[in-house]
Amino acid sequence: MTAKKLGLKQRYAAMTRGLDWETSYQPMDKVFPYDRFEGIKIKDWSAWEDPFRLTMDSYWKYQAEKERKLYAVLDSFAQNNGLLGLSSAKYVNAVKLFITGISPEEYQAHRGFSFAGRHLRGVGPRVAAQMQSLDELRHAQTQIHTISNYNKYFDGMHEWRHMHDRVWYLSVPKSFFDDARTAGPFEFMIAIGFAFEYVLTNLLFVPFMSGAAYNGDLATVTFGFSAQSDESRHMTLGIEVIKFLLEQHPDNLPIVQRWVDKWFWRGFKVLGLVAMMMDYMLPKRIMSWKEAWEIYFTQGGGSLFEDLGRYGLKMPKYHEVATEMADHIAHQNWAIFYQYTHAAAFHTWLPSAEEMDWLSAKYPESFDKYYRPRFELWAQMEKDGKRFYNNGLPQLCNTCQIPMGYTEPGDPTTIAFRHSIHRGERYHFCSDGCKDIFDQEPEKYAQSWLPVHQIFQGHCGGATVPDVLAYYNMNVGADNMDYQGSPDQKLWDEWQAARLRVAS
Amino acid sequence: MTAIASITLQNVDDARPIIESILADNPGARVMNMPGAVKIDCDHRLVIKRDSVEKRIGRSWTPQDIHLVLISMAGNLDEDDDYFALSWNA
């Protein structure tokens, strides 16, 4: 007699349920010591539903297939001098920011999900978190493999791991993940699984990766989209976590809302780096940060929060401020890096006249009025041999760790300053969102490792800029400064000249 | 605001019959082409049907094969042997 073949839903239940057990010689609370202190109440772990019913055997099958495809492309790209097909070597600077600022966070996500996968009491979320942990490790590895090919030719990538733990702007994404990983397992799941993966990573992996394709970087777009197919699974995990927590107990709502508010704001600030990559670092652009924000946050996030409204969950606090900032954040960030180009491990440049026209068209409310005059002044100063460098060290926001260069909501000509007093010390913030996060957990954020403070305290190699750059292991004169006059530019121009010689 | 269910697939050969089937099976679906990627939006609900894809490729296909070409999606997912659906309740 042959048994009737099980359907996907039954098959999945058979493969994933009833695999755990109640411990007998140790109390469950000792085996799972971290899933109670955050105040989240779970009545029934078995109510967890995995939307993607991917069993381990299919997981390995699909992941293996994705890896084979990806590595075929990477090999081919390296073997056939794919680098020559890039739109410009300027593009590579976005890749530098990726390997130093994003790939290490994939690894942090791997560790975070390993932790959540160990410490959540229910078997469903535990399996899902473990799969995601493996995915994140795969992302870190494939990105390192892909970008290692660029490192053979271009500067700024040779010390990505060392720099990630030390360089001032890399503390922005690093502290974001440190913050998430030092929270409890539920907050981590909301922070990374929901706020980051569901609400925000589309902005990084869809339009930016499409931009990579458009700029001839077929290696990066391939790892990007290969990773993103995992992200789709992660997004469904993120939304499931939210629904599960909100369905389990009404007391969970205020806790979850606070986490959603916090991690939306934290994520929005981190993604300001991506805003700048899209608007300034892609030589050929596909859409502006503002357009991407409109599609993925206003429309996509709007649909999501409308759906979650039935549980009483509201749009994240200060989302209007973030949407208003979509008109400004890329310009303000690029201006910060331009001023501190001597301390950055990638090259900067001023937008060309044609690029400024594109920015004017994409940002009719803000670019010509607030940013074009500044870039034109700096261009004139360059012409006069007085390229502007900011030689002071910036004040940093104690929460997001970004230099305090952002402006007041509704007033793009005034820099926003907020502060709080905690145990007699004054802490500074760039925004109400960042101040609220501190005020909620001052004991945590009073311990922030702020790069500028650390330099002044003598923990970063010495008191001068060259001392600090040596501590960063920066190859001064190659990794930093403007693209114009860099070894990268020289190499690229030689490649282009060789092509022209062959063609003529 | 109308809730939009959405899926983004790689613009590759393996994905084209899936894209075609989505457009055939979801009246009102809108396509946004980006380099390397195709985003399809549909108000409230979007469904991919196994038989519709199989008819186009002339061999058996399971909705889980979508993992090989999937980039992103929006909506609550409901997946079974014969379909892959994204929808918003609101």
Would you say residue A315 has pLDDT above 90?
yes
In order of A204, A357, A476, A481, the CA distances from A98 in angstroms are 10, 27, 20, 18
Contacts of B35 in chain A (CB under 8 A): 210-211, 213-214, 286
Would you say residue A1 has pLDDT above 60?
no
Tell me if B29 sits within 8 A of B21, measured CB to CB: no
Give B80→chain A minimum CA distance, Å: 6
Residue type, position A410, single letter: G
Query: Which of residues A234 and A380 earns the better pLDDT score?
Result: A380
CB A62 to CB B68 under 8 A?
yes
Residue type, position A88, single letter: S
- The lowest-confidence range among A15-19, A138-142, A402-406, B60-64 is A15-19
B64, B74, B78: residue with CB nearest A300:
B74
φ, ψ of residue A493 to 5 degrees: the values are -65, -35
Which of A61, A303, A313, A315 has the highest number of chain B CBs within 10 A, making it the mutation to test binding with B?
A303
Which of A229, A234, A294 has the highest number of chain B CBs within 10 A, making it the mutation to test binding with B?
A229
CB B35 to CB A236 under 8 A?
no
Q: What pLDDT band is residue A2 in, cutting at 50, 70 and 90? A: low
In order of A160, A262, A400, A454, the CA distances from A432 in angstroms are 32, 11, 12, 24
Q: What share of chain B is helix, strand, coil (3-state, %, to 5)?
A: 30, 40, 30
A463, burial (CB in 10 Å: exposed 0-12, middle 13-18, buried 19+): exposed
CB A286 to CB B34 under 8 A?
yes
φ, ψ of residue A224 to 5 degrees: the values are -65, -50
Give A305→chain B minimum CA distance, Å: 9
CB B35 to CB A51 under 8 A?
no
Pairing of strands A418-422, A425-429: antiparallel
Instruction: Pick left, alpha or beta for residue A75 (phi over 0 → left; psi -120 to 50 → alpha; otherwise beta).
Output: alpha
pLDDT tens digits along A336-383 = 999 999 999 999 999 999 999 999 999 999 999 999 999 999 999 999
B39 has a chain A CB within 8 A of its CB? yes
B4, B71, B73: residue with CB nearest A225:
B71
B36, B76, B79: residue with CB nearest A239:
B76
Q: For residue B19, what pLDDT is reported?
A: 97
Q: pLDDT above 90 covers what percent of chain A?
A: 81
Contacts of A4 in chain B (CB under 8 A): none
In order of A17, A196, A334, the CA distances from A235 in angstroms are 22, 9, 30
Closest-CA residue of chain A to B34: A210
Would you say residue A60 has pLDDT above 60?
yes
B37, B75, B89: residue with CB nearest A206:
B37
What's the CA gap between A278 and A256, in Å, rounded? 31
Give A200→chain B minimum CA distance, Å: 12
- What's the whole-number mean pLDDT along residues A478-494? 97
> 């381990």: which residue's tokens?
A56
Tokens for A100?
């130093």
Q: What pLDDT band is residue A134 in, cutting at 50, 70 and 90? A: very high
Query: Which of residues A488 and A220 earns the better pLDDT score?
Result: A488
- What's the whole-number mean pLDDT along residues B58-71? 94
pLDDT tens digits along A163-209 = 999 999 999 999 999 999 999 999 999 999 888 887 778 888 888 89
What's the CA gap between A207 and A281, in Å, rounded? 13
A312 has a chain B CB within 8 A of its CB? no
Give B29→chain A minimum CA distance, Å: 15
B31 has a chain A CB within 8 A of its CB? no
A303 has a chain B CB within 8 A of its CB? yes
In order of A243, A288, A308, A310, the CA distances from A248 in angstroms are 8, 40, 14, 14
Give B3→chain A minimum CA distance, Å: 4
3 state SS of A111: helix
pLDDT tens digits along B30-45 = 999 999 999 999 999 9
Contacts of B79 in chain A (CB under 8 A): 8, 51-53
Q: For residue B90, what pLDDT is reported?
A: 57
Would you say residue B76 has pLDDT above 80?
yes
- What's the whole-number mean pLDDT along residues A113-137? 91
Angle at the Cα of A309 from the Cα atoms of A244 and A315, rounded to 5 degrees:
100
B3 has a chain A CB within 8 A of its CB? yes
B4, B8, B37: residue with CB nearest A303:
B4
Largest alpha-carbon pair distance within chain A?
89
Tokens for B46?
């979007």
Q: What is the 3-state secondary structure (H, E, C) of B51-89?
A: HHHHHHHCCCCCHHHHHHCEEEEECEEEECCCEEEEECC
Length of chain B: 90
Give B19→chain A minimum CA distance, Å: 16
pLDDT tens digits along B2-55 = 899 999 999 999 999 999 999 999 999 999 999 999 999 999 999 999 999 999
Interface of A with B in 252-291 (CB under 8 A): 286-287
Q: For residue B25, what pLDDT is reported?
A: 98
Highest mean pLDDT among A67-81, A222-236, A424-438: A424-438
Q: For residue A54, what pLDDT is reported?
A: 80
Burial B45-72 (b: 16+ CB within 10 A, else e): ebbbbbebbeebeeeebebbbbbbbbbb
Average pLDDT, rounded, for chain A: 94
CB A221 to CB B36 under 8 A?
yes
Contacts of A287 in chain B (CB under 8 A): 34
For residue A415, list its beta bridge partners: A407
Cβ neighbours for A68, distance < 8 A, ≥ 6 positions apart: none
Q: For residue B89, what pLDDT is reported?
A: 83
Q: What pLDDT band is residue A46 in, cutting at 50, 70 and 90? A: confident
What's the CA gap between A54 and A441, in Å, rounded? 38
Contacts of A54 in chain B (CB under 8 A): 64, 67
